[in-house]
Amino acid sequence: MYQSLSRFSVFIAATLVTGLTLTGCSKPKSAPPPSGPPEVGIIVVKPERVSLTTELSGRTVPQMIAEVRPQVGGIIRKRLFTEGGDVKAGQVLYQIDPASYQAAYASAKAAESRAEANLFSVRLKAGRYQDLVKINAVSQQDNDDAQASLKQAEADVASTRAAVQTAGINLAYTKVTAPISGRIGRSAVTDGALVTASQPTALATIQQLSSMYVDVTQSSSDVLKLKQNLANGVLKKSDSTLVKLILEDGSAYPLTGTLKFSEVTVDQSTGSVTLRAVFPNPKQALLPGMFVRAMLVEGVNEAAILIPQRGVTRNPKGEAMVMTVGAEEKVEPRPIKVVRTVGDNWLVSDGLKAGDRVILEGLQKARPGTQVKAVPFGSAPAAAPAGSPQPPAAKK
């Protein structure tokens, strides 16, 4: 037994000696080569010409709207249009019972004929008296009376003719016609209803839908700011008066409108100014009262600096910041002033100039004061340097 223990001890000692020998002969592993500065994606600031637009909400309004009302009283004999259909200007919409107006017209015509007959007789008498007074066959007084009777007869004829014209107009008014062309709504009366002249309730309403107004509102503060920017030269007034429209469902209206005018009075209840644009509506896709959003061109900035929103952060004070690459390829934080968004970019008014390099990618590596390697934003990453450790190959 003692002999077995002795052999086991010798084996353990030999194993330890062999391990120490191999450890002493092995070479230490070389440390990986130091890596270069981190890469960051940058863009170079380049001023560009930008048309600045504003989005305003509003509603559609018919370009022409007319309420149909009777101009004479009577019983509606028949309605002559289809509700919700298109009508033409001058088309007969309602027929009012014309019997009493036809009688009044006939009476006026008869009075006119009687006045004309009396005028014929008086004119002959006045002519004879005018000749007789020259030879003293009649007195001057009789001649004067004859001439006065002539003028009175002529006035009676003119009066009866006016009465005939009035009776004819009233007779024509028994046919209630459409004042404009357009789409007519529902009828407020039916056959047999009694209507009166100048009644407050309209018989029907016609709206012209071939063109539509879009009334949008803009706050008076925005109007003042726009005027200041134009006066200071920050913006130049655009010659374009075209307006684009966004519908309620978010889709774009295919046709372009034109800005017509802006109100000169501020609404005291809302503090806003109304602007009106007109849009063609050949397919009548725009209906009165629809909520829409209009895109208007405010002006043109000839040297606008735009920075993608992903490159702009906020400091604890809430100020806009960007990280730039300085002359020594070191990261420098830069406070900026932003005016508004233009698409997915910020419009910068102060803090950046042409040629500045703004970091958009790799911001987590861009610590202030650290040295970085600037590459154009969106370019492919650089290849790994020679001698750098490669990832192990997958085992088969």
Question: Residue 193's domain is classified under what CATH number?
Answer: 2.40.50.100
CATH of residue 119: 1.10.287.470
* Residue range(s) defining the domain that contains residue 131: 98-173
Q: Tell me the C-alpha distance between 351 and 45, whole Å.
A: 11
| pLDDT value, residue 34 | 53
Question: How do the pLDDT tens digits run along the chain, 396 residues long?
Answer: 444 444 544 444 444 444 434 444 444 454 455 567 888 889 999 999 888 888 889 999 998 999 999 999 999 999 999 999 999 999 999 999 999 999 999 999 999 999 999 999 999 999 999 889 888 888 999 999 999 999 999 999 999 999 999 999 999 999 999 999 999 999 999 999 999 998 999 999 999 999 999 999 888 887 787 777 667 665 666 655 788 999 999 899 999 998 887 777 888 888 888 888 999 999 989 999 999 999 887 778 888 899 999 889 898 888 899 999 987 888 999 999 988 888 889 989 888 989 999 999 888 877 888 888 888 987 755 544 444 444 444 443
Torsion of CA 159, 160, 164, 170, to 10 degrees: 60
Q: Is residue 387 a part of any domain in this protein?
A: no
Same domain, 253 and 181: no
The two structure tokens encoding residue 37 = 């500065």
Q: Is residue 110 a part of any domain in this protein?
A: yes
Q: Is residue 382 a part of any domain in this protein?
A: no
Same domain, 196 and 213: no
| pLDDT value, residue 394 | 42
Burial label for 328, CB within 10 Å (0-12, 13-18, 19+), is exposed
Same domain, 161 and 78: no
CATH of residue 246: 2.40.30.170
Same domain, 188 and 217: no
Q: Is residue 18 a part of any domain in this protein?
A: no
How many independent structural domains does the chain possess?
Answer: 4
Q: Is residue 20 a part of any domain in this protein?
A: no
pTM: 0.64
| pLDDT value, residue 39 | 87
Same domain, 135 and 194: no
Same domain, 232 and 290: yes
Burial label for 53, CB within 10 Å (0-12, 13-18, 19+), is middle
> How far lies 297's CA from each of 119, 162, 219, 241, in Å?
72, 57, 16, 7
**Closest residue by Cα to residue 174 from 91, 237, 229, 96:** 96
Cα angle, residue 205 at apex, residues 199 and 208 outer, rounded to 5°: 145
The two structure tokens encoding residue 200 = 């407050």
| pLDDT value, residue 240 | 55
Pairing type for strands 86-87 and 182-184 reads antiparallel
Q: Is residue 25 a part of any domain in this protein?
A: no
The two structure tokens encoding residue 308 = 């993608």
| pLDDT value, residue 242 | 80
CB atoms within 10 A of CB 372: 22
Same domain, 125 and 163: yes
